[in-house]
Chains A and B, each alone.
Chain A
């Protein structure tokens, strides 16, 4: 549940969401409309895609530590991947057998992983930990997410609300994308994004008129806008963006066949928008927003399927982008709110734990394994869980993406200068 405290949420409602920051609430509609048209994307503008694995991915079943003897002690049976099935990277680590496509991407220099990612005093609630990842900080001191703040800092003079777009389910994306000036657009599918109530031009024109800013009146007296102003601004953004994105979605012809899965459909749609030249700089997507990586019991069949879906979707996305001549400007990074326990539980599954690894894809990455692999020795584990200990703070990855890929200063966004990770070429 979104839970922003009193003063800050008020601030969000009155000044938040997209272009309104430009001329505050007094911005006339024609200006909003012209701002909406936005600058056309330039071919060399870099794009970041965030891929959410919500629920807490079991990293030991993704990047299998087959060279560590402890792995075989911790994963006795139900969640163990036999050494012979592991797609080995080196003597220490290897891919889940369903991740052949990922292995190939790494071999081709298109995939890097950062191991041992987490944060101090881990919170083991999905919702709180997701919040921490979305905000890039604890304690909910401000109402804006890290992507929104990055846009505010990186594009201070660009009022385009399409700078950030989330495609698919929104488990936390709305929070991450919220900025003081940039609110983000959240859509299910570009083709079906739009108002379907009007039956003729007269009705559709009046619909547009009624969805522009008017005064909030009650009993003949003017009232503070609050929620109503914010909804109105969302409507203006949605109506304008839906036309442009709908056309791109309908016109898109991918060069490869995408799997018909949540990840497949969403990444196909994002490829269409990138190729169509939408002015978006940061995309966000997830599978279905149902904490599907939360595998407390009978983990293996579920997790195997998820690995297969990721393996089918991600390489297809980059192959398509490559053939469309777009791949060089796109970098994708995974996030997941926490890892899972080193040892399997008694229910053929694993529970919430601390550190995990995250993945980066695209021609811009430095391939290979980065960060420090957490020690699996019993005495080195965090007793709660037990968990792998983190070494790289997730904000170091955020900072690296901002500075090395997006050319956005990270310190004003993240409050301090986090050490960068050498994972981008």
Chain B
């Protein structure tokens, strides 16, 4: 903590200097507040330095003053950023006005030219007419008039041409001004991000200067499911701040309008007489129900896979997948897949809001059924939901009393929380939450040291208050997005960010994705892709026109990640557990199958990139598929495998063989250790 304060002060002052010099108006409220905060900190520090009698009080004052200072610093930086944005907008406007002016002067030249030509023609015909009848006075007069008019339009034309030149000359400075304003924006953008992170106690962000292709690719693969070089270049151009906003402020992107290919809520109610049927008929009905359940599940997986690939909001789906693992339940235990579909919608609706999710999951029919809370009634307790809420969904087992002093106890599980959850059940027919008061145990109970007549949602609030919850969740998010071996100091720091933001996930993710730590050597290419990341990523790296979502379903299952069907309530064992001898070969085989089935047009891809040489083709495909480079000897082997490419003129006629060879090369690239990490 002490170290954190020290670095904060150092960082804060370093950052303040440019901001203070930038602010010109003396009565700028942000500046005044900043000055005040500075003074408060100085006097608070002084009272501490003077061996004040109440040291604790003085320390609290320093701490408060520091928080104020950080917040004011962030606010000032944001004001600067807004100003720079405005200046950029003004420059853009000026440039637009200049461009408009150039256009209108050009239009004027066109019309003046026309007028001049017309006047000249009229003058010519007046001259002709006078030549025919030289004595005619009226013709003489007409010629004089036309000559004057022609001279006038000629002059107007010259003036118009001159105006064009002048307007065009204005364009360059306007462009220069805009470029300057754009460049000037980078500094406050960096400063605002740094100050904002500092105010929230977050991690130090990278500067825009450090932004490059490798980092943009890293971001796209971690925040979402990856993409092709064109998409990565787009993020490179945006710079780190805009790129992170573009991905994480996903609610600003259009919603994916992708529906399941069949009606998921369509089962027929069991009829009353059916339970009195003879055994064979009942067995038949059971088989029909079972098959319908499997079909529903298949349909849902196809739907989600399509969505994972095609959504304009990949970061949203990435979060939903995180929650599906965190709040794991399986269609298998439910007898119908529909509640899992509903649960998936819940996870998407509140993907950014953990508090809402934890409150939502205790009244989620799928979870209630999966963890038998429909059996948890007053006097006859079933501890399954009460246990997993503490052990897996909120504090985590690492915050149980066997690991930390104020952790949850077996008594909290079996008595406090389990009894708080009594009466929370669901209606089978509608798959809707129901709470039955007469089945709820309303007597006092103790949960995490707090005594009261806790019901379902009071218990959830108690879990949310415990400091273990934000730490555990932050650690899981860090492992999902950054790297596996967490640093407790970073986790504590980020848990604070999560809590300060009321358990909203996006602010935490924005800080993570801008942080130096996220782009450190420890994080880059150190993540073992989950099967979903592996396959969806492949489909996003290259366009696979013949791909079927049905096949992806089977491929995912072969690698141990069947969607809507995690192996247990603890979700999937992630990280290095995605790889063992059998799973690794399953991954290679599945990805190879996907590439073969998808039949990409590699010829078109190389043509678009103007690639004609073998070496360039190997390098491009390597860069497209792998984050790490291949070692020189592996690269050489691939070049030899592909062999010399025929001249461009023969590509069309040899399309089939050439595509087959390139596809074989891609199969090898994805069946490699390098392709398993991102």
Contact stretch, chosen from B99-107, B243-251, B579-587, B608-616 = B579-587
Q: Are A234 and B579 in contact (CB under 8 A)?
A: yes
* B672 cross-chain contacts in A, Cβ below 8 A: 210-211
Q: Are B576 and A13 in contact (CB under 8 A)?
A: yes
Interface presence of B628 (CB below 8 A): yes
Interface presence of A375 (CB below 8 A): no
**Contact A216-B628, Cβ < 8 Å, known A2-B576, A238-B585:** yes
Interface presence of A422 (CB below 8 A): no
In the complex, how many residue pairs between chain A and chain B have their CB atoms under 8 Å apart?
202
Residue of A nearest to B672 (CB): A210
Give which listed residue, B400, B528, B567, B585, contacts A171 with CB less than 8 A.
B567
CB within 8 Å of A: which B135-155 residues? none
Instruction: Give the distance in Å from the alpha carbon of A210 to the alpha carbon of B670 in the complex.
Output: 10
Can you list 29 A-B pairs with a CB-CB distance of less than 8 A?
Answer: A1-B570, A1-B573, A1-B574, A2-B574, A9-B484, A124-B387, A125-B400, A126-B568, A127-B570, A128-B402, A185-B581, A188-B586, A194-B585, A196-B585, A198-B671, A203-B667, A206-B637, A217-B628, A227-B576, A227-B676, A230-B576, A231-B677, A235-B584, A239-B585, A291-B568, A296-B375, A297-B372, A347-B375, A349-B382
Residue of B nearest to A189 (CB): B582
Instruction: Give the distance in Å from the alpha carbon of A169 to the alpha carbon of B577 in the complex.
Output: 12
* B62 cross-chain contacts in A, Cβ below 8 A: none
**Chain B: residues with CB nearer than 8 A to chain A?**
214, 372, 375-377, 379-384, 387, 391-392, 397-398, 400, 402, 410, 413-414, 484-487, 521, 524-528, 567-568, 570-571, 573-577, 579-586, 588-589, 591-593, 627-631, 633-634, 637-638, 641, 664, 667-668, 671-674, 676-677
Least distance between B675 CB and chain A CB atoms (Å): 10
Instruction: Give the distance in Å from the alpha carbon of A209 to the alpha carbon of B635 in the complex.
Output: 11
Instruction: Give the distance in Å from the alpha carbon of A173 to the alpha carbon of B610 in the complex.
Output: 51
**Contact A223-B592, Cβ < 8 Å, known A6-B485, A127-B570:** no
Q: Are A223 and B628 in contact (CB under 8 A)?
A: yes
Per-residue CB proximity of A204-238 to B under 8 Å, as 1/0? Answer: 00110111001111111001101110111011011
**Chain A: residues with CB nearer than 8 A to chain B?**
1-3, 5-6, 9-10, 12-13, 121, 123-128, 169-171, 174, 184-188, 193-199, 202-203, 206-207, 209-211, 214-220, 223-224, 226-228, 230-232, 234-235, 237-239, 241-242, 289-291, 296-297, 345-347, 349, 351-352, 384
Q: Are B381 and A174 in contact (CB under 8 A)?
A: no
Instruction: Give the distance in Å from the alpha carbon of A48 to the alpha carbon of B630 in the complex.
Output: 42
* B674 cross-chain contacts in A, Cβ below 8 A: 216, 228
Give which listed residue, A6, A121, A126, A169, contacts B570 with CB less than 8 A.
A126
Least distance between A163 CB and chain B CB atoms (Å): 13
Instruction: Give the distance in Å from the alpha carbon of A199 to the alpha carbon of B588 in the complex.
Output: 13
Q: Are A188 and B628 in contact (CB under 8 A)?
A: no
Q: Are A227 and B528 in contact (CB under 8 A)?
A: yes
* A351 cross-chain contacts in B, Cβ below 8 A: 382-383, 414
* A202 cross-chain contacts in B, Cβ below 8 A: 641
Q: Are B584 and A296 in contact (CB under 8 A)?
A: no
* B588 cross-chain contacts in A, Cβ below 8 A: 195, 197
Instruction: Give the distance in Å from the alpha carbon of A182 to the alpha carbon of B636 in the complex.
Output: 33
Q: Are B402 and A123 in contact (CB under 8 A)?
A: yes
Q: Are B568 and A2 in contact (CB under 8 A)?
A: no
Q: Are A290 and B567 in contact (CB under 8 A)?
A: yes
Q: Are B664 and A199 in contact (CB under 8 A)?
A: yes
Residue of B nearest to A221 (CB): B629
Least distance between B268 CB and chain A CB atoms (Å): 24
* B398 cross-chain contacts in A, Cβ below 8 A: 3
Instruction: Give the distance in Å from the alpha carbon of A3 to the alpha carbon of B486 in the complex.
Output: 10
* A187 cross-chain contacts in B, Cβ below 8 A: 581-582
Give which listed residue, B381, B573, B631, B664, contacts A217 with CB less than 8 A.
B631
